[in-house]
Amino acid sequence: MSLYVMKFGGSSVGDTERMKRVAGRVVEKADEGHQCVVVVSAMGDTTDDLIDQAKLLNSDLPAREMDMLLTTGEQISISLLSMAIQALGRKAVSFTGWQAGFRTEPVHGKARIQDIRPERVKSALAEGNIVIVAGFQGMTEDGEITTLGRGGSDTTAVALAAAIQADACEIYTDVDGIYSTDPRIVKVARKLKEISYDEMLELANLGAAVLHPRAVEYAKHSGVPLIVRSSFNHNEGTVVKEEAAMEQGVVVSGIAYDKNVARISILGVPDVPGVLAEVFGELASEQLDVDIIVQSGVQDGKADFSFSVALSDREKALRVIEGLHSRLPYREVTSEENLVKISIVGAGMVSHPGVAAKMFKVISGEGVSIKMVSTSEIKVSCVIDGEKLHDVIKALHTAYDLDTAEQAVIGGPQVRR
């Protein structure tokens, strides 16, 4: 008997018919003789709908009350799925995140897991139950409800798999694996049979929405086998593991993009020691993540530099910079929206020169200017204007020989794009 953690996202449990399909899939796994723990997200657009309702009442959303509100979405899912499984003749019990033992840091909206005490989960399994756990949520030591941030159900599933020493963690979604890029944009995207933790972590951090970055971090740290597959069919999925075999001739494994990008430029900054430390130290103290930083040459003792932040953090970052003006007499601050960060990722890039040069050439060939560049051993990222994003992705996908003759499967066997 093997122990599986099975995670189903909001699209997989978006309505009662899909909920029944998930229940059948779980019971099928249990009928094969396996123990099953199921982690689920809120149904469909429930989380977005709750946020919209809250905004109608208060434009300045209080973080604590938002956690109280948003965790109700997963509670609906777990109870309904438990009922659906019981209707198929199987014992099932549902637990909230805190009932399942998730203890988090005292941060609302994007708390990190500090400890998992899964005794109730283990006891329920020993009693022959299929256990359903709410993703995305936990509780502090002093009893405050918290959420793990968007996509946190992936993190819940992987962390729980590690805590109960599951044989594997299966992430079920509306595509049947991890693709070389978004299959909704590139119809002939390549489905990857396997990918390394490091490559997947880069792709997740760079905008690939199929897995949450913290989930991949947990999987890598704990060695949990991670499998991404479709909840709508039984096709083989993609295995995320420590070392993945490199396909002959394929240097780039995937192309990711992030539309949530803004660039802020500080012009005419005194070129003296400690300036960057002061600026980015102040941004860090406000929990603002900075991505790419570019500094230009020095002229007349003054320098210009730019950095990228999440578009949702742009206004807050601008307020922080404006608050520094009395201590840091810069000339001007500007910002840009409608930007995207497009990235190529691949372990094979380390030993293949010219990969970045090809990327720059392809982007320029589409008539697009590159505003910022960031590199590591296995990735190259470029910030560009967003108008021709799809054209650039398709051109890069072809240039790195990632196109296939098959079309990606999205949603179910009958839906092909």
Average pLDDT over residues 20-29: 96
Structure confidence by residue, pLDDT tens digits, 301-335: 899 999 999 999 999 999 999 999 988 889 999 99
In whole angstroms, what is the distance from residue 224 CA to residue 242 CA? 10
pLDDT of 5 over the 70 cut: yes
CB neighbours (10 Å) of residue 394? 19
Can you tell me the mean pLDDT for 337-358? 90
Helix (H) or strand (E) holding 115: strand 113-116
More reliable by pLDDT, 73 or 251: 73
Residue 174 annotated as part of some ligand binding site: yes
Query: What confidence score (pLDDT) does residue 216 get?
Result: 92
pLDDT of 246 over the 70 cut: no
Report the distance separating Cα 124 and Cα 134, nearest Å.
15
Residue 405: per-residue pLDDT: 83
Higher pLDDT, 244 or 386: 386
Q: In the predicted model, is pLDDT for residue 249 greater than 90?
A: no
pLDDT at 7 over 60: yes
Report the CATH fold assignment for 3-173. Answer: Carbamate kinase (3.40.1160)
Is 7 a known ligand-binding residue? yes
Q: What is the pLDDT of residue 71?
A: 96
Tokens of 251: 């240097």
The arithmetic mean of pLDDT across residues 174-194, rounded, is 91
What does the block give as tokens for 342? 């497009």
Tokens of 289: 């993540």
What pLDDT score does 238 carry?
Answer: 94
pLDDT at 243 over 90: no
Q: What are phi and psi of 86, to 5 degrees?
A: -60, -35
- Rounded Cα gap, residues 132 and 5, in angstroms: 10
Query: Does 346 appear as a known binding residue?
Result: no
Is pLDDT at 125 greater than 60 in this prediction? Answer: yes
Measured from the Cβ of residue 134, the count of other Cβ atoms closer than 10 Å reads 29
Angle, in degrees to the nearest 10, between helices 63-87 and 16-31: 60
Average pLDDT over residues 79-99: 98
Axis-axis angle for helices 389-399, 355-365 (nearest 10): 140
Whether 404 has a binding-site annotation, put simply, is: no
How many whole angstroms separate alpha carbon 84 and alpha carbon 82?
5
How many beta carbons lie within 10 A of that of residue 253, not counting itself? 29
Q: Give the pair of three-digit tokens for residue 270.
A: 């005194």
Contact call for residues 14 and 26 (beta carbons, < 8 A): no
User: Is the CB of residue 135 less than 8 Å from the CB of residue 100?
Assistant: no
Joined tokens for residue 344: 């190529």
Q: Is 184 annotated as a binding residue?
A: yes
Is the pLDDT confidence value at 213 over 70?
A: yes
Q: Are 252 and 345 in contact (CB under 8 A)?
A: yes
Neighbouring-strand partners of residue 92? 130
Q: Which of 82-96, 232-246, 334-348 has the highest mean pLDDT?
A: 82-96
Give the other-Cβ count within 10 Å of 197's Cβ: 20
What band does 203 get if pLDDT is binned at 50, 70 and 90?
A: very high
Among 192, 96, 132, 153, residue whose Cα is nearest residue 404: 192
* pLDDT-based confidence at residue 413 (cuts at 50, 70, 90): very low
Residue 414 pLDDT exceeds 50: no
Is 50 exceeded by the pLDDT of residue 417? no
When pLDDT is averaged across residues 8-27 and rounded to a whole number, the result is 94
Confidence of residue 208 (pLDDT cuts 50, 70, 90): confident
Q: What is the pLDDT of residues 381-411, one digit of tens each?
A: 999 999 999 999 999 999 999 999 887 767 6
C-alpha torsion angle, residues 245, 250, 251, 256 (rounded to 10): -90
Question: CA 102 to CA 140: how far, in whole Å?
Answer: 8
- The pLDDT assigned to 286 comes to 92
With tokens 């002939």, the residue in question is 188
Q: Is 232 annotated as a binding residue?
A: no
70, containing H or E segment: helix 63-87
- Rounded CA gap, 87 and 81, in Å? 10
On the CB side of 97, how many CA atoms lie within 13 Å of its CA? Answer: 37
Average pLDDT value over all residues in the chain: 92
Whether residue 295 has pLDDT greater than 50: yes
The answer to whether the Cα torsion of 332, 333, 334, 339 is positive or negative is positive
Strand partners, 173: 230
Sign of the CA dihedral with 409 first, then 411, 414, and 417 last: negative
What does the pLDDT read at residue 39? 98
Please tell me whether 33 is known to bind a ligand. Answer: no
Looking at the predicted structure, is the pLDDT value of residue 292 above 60? yes
Contact predicate 127/91, CB 8 Å: yes
Least confident of 79-83, 185-189, 208-212, 276-280: 208-212
